[in-house]
Amino acid sequence: MQFIDVRLKRPISQFVDHQSREHEISPEETVAELVALGFDTLLRERYERYQRGEISFGRLAHELGITTWELSHLLEDKGWAVHNLPSAV
């Protein structure tokens, strides 16, 4: 796990405070959840481009800042196809 000091501008800081109180978690946990959500959103968008053949597997890994090996495991953990070959019908 990595710790990062982040300065948040309004209204994001207000949102973090609200969410933290609402869910009775720390602001750090709230920010960690938001970052994870952002990563998942970015992963899904980039993965869809990969599935359409717009980017390569290596490019997808590069854009996520991980190795192709790590990407394979990440996709497998999500139950997503590692290849982008069309399915036989």
Q: Each residue of 13-24: pLDDT tens digit?
A: 999 999 999 999
Please give the full DSSP string across the chain, using - where no structure is assigned.
---------TTHHHHHHHHHHHHT--HHHHHHHHHHHHHHHHHHHHHHHHHTTSS-HHHHHHHHTS-HHHHHHHHHHHT--S--PPPP-
Q: How many structural domains does the chain have?
A: 1
Is 4 part of a structural domain of the chain? no
pLDDT band at 88 (very low <50, low <70, confident <90, very high): low
**What confidence score (pLDDT) does residue 29 get?**
95
pTM here?
A: 0.80
**What confidence score (pLDDT) does residue 71 get?**
97
Is 10 part of a structural domain of the chain? no
**What confidence score (pLDDT) does residue 83 get?**
85
Is 85 part of a structural domain of the chain? no
- Write out the residue range of the structural domain in which residue 50 sits: 39-80
For the stretch 31-63, pLDDT in tens is: 999 999 999 999 999 999 999 999 999 999 999
